[in-house]
Amino acid sequence: MKYLILGAKGQLGLEWTKYLQSHQIPYLATDRDELDITEQQAVEDCLNQFKPDVVLNCVAYTNVDGAETETDANERLNHTAPGLVAKLCEAHRITFVHYSTDYVFSGKITDKQVYPDGYPVDAPVSPVNQYGAAKLRGEQAVQAAGENHLIIRIAWLCSAYGKNFLKTMLRLGQEKPKLSIVNDQFGSPTFTFDVVDATAAILASGQRGVFHLTSEGMYTWFDFANAIFKASDITVKTEGVDSSAYPMVAKRPAFSKLDNSRFKAVAGGKTYQMEQGIRRVLDELNKQS
């Protein structure tokens, strides 16, 4: 099996590179400097030359607020490019793995009662911002290209790489005596190493289609932050506040927990825990320092 990584310098791309290296699996890691995935001929040439068995699309425009105004970049990277690459993969009989988001759902707080275990993979989609809308169109473009694909929806992505909530909390917890953290948005984090592990398990199962993947349980950002501070032995006062205390350009979902049942069914009941994920990121950060 040979893997082609698209977006190799992002959080997921770096995690995949580490995994494939450690397992001595052949791969080619590309980022926008090496391969523009919005250019059909460039992608076609890469597929013809490297001949991968699996293409991992770790590319995304992830600036949720920026997507409200930078509509061209949002559309190209989250919708057009995934559809283009998926079509080429289908023509070459290559499995295409595409990562999507909890933001394809409406996130109404009333859905917390309707879906106590989180949104199932077949729940109605209704994004509330431009980022979520483009990601949904990207999913639909991938599905229209054929059947040999995985669409894995993730949420609150964290790792030892790049910028993310966990690393921001570690920094702020050491800089400030008190933090006010949103306590009215519900979901669950996903860690890059869990995403890679789960993707490998799904690929091995032979199943295709849409999967959800997050840590087990349901939390607010306030809960998540306090778990980070506890695990890292950072002493800081925290208070929970409504999201209205931090006005954003783009609307955020109040509830975006994802139901992992389909993944657990194909992976022998495997689950991932938030506390373990936090500790592993902390260990990796310590090794980097």
Average pLDDT per block of 10 residues along the chain, 289 residues long:
98 98 98 94 98 98 97 98 98 99 98 98 98 99 98 98 97 97 98 99 98 99 99 98 96 98 97 99 94
**What is the predicted pLDDT for the residue at 259?**
99
Nearest CA among 117, 153, 152, 164 for reference residue 277: 164
How far apart are the C-alpha atoms of 231 and 212, rounded to whole Å?
A: 26
pLDDT at 65: 97
CATH number attached to the domain at 3-164+188-218+256-273: 3.40.50.720
Beta strand pairing call for 219-220 and 54-57:
unpaired
> What residue ranges do the domains of the chain occupy?
3-164+188-218+256-273
- If you average pLDDT over every residue of the chain, what do you get? 98
Question: Would the pTM of this model clear 0.95, i.e. be above it?
Answer: yes
Q: Let me know if 27 is a catalytic residue.
A: no
Alpha helices (runs of H) in the chain, residue ranges in sequence order? 11-22, 40-50, 71-75, 81-91, 111-114, 130-145, 165-175, 192-205, 221-232, 261-266, 274-288
User: Which position among 3, 61, 131, 219 bears the catalytic label?
Assistant: 131
Which are the contacts of 109, defined by CB distance < 8 A and separation ≥ 6? 184, 186, 254, 255
Q: Please report, as a single letter, which amino acid is at residue 4.
A: L
pLDDT at 289: 77
Max Cα–Cα distance, the chain, nearest Å:
56
pLDDT at 249: 96
Structural tokens at position 188: 């669950």
Q: Provide the percentage of residues in the chain whose pLDDT is more than 70.
A: 100
223-268: per-residue pLDDT in tens? 999 999 999 999 999 999 999 999 999 999 999 999 999 999 999 9
Distance CA 152, CA 209 (A): 8
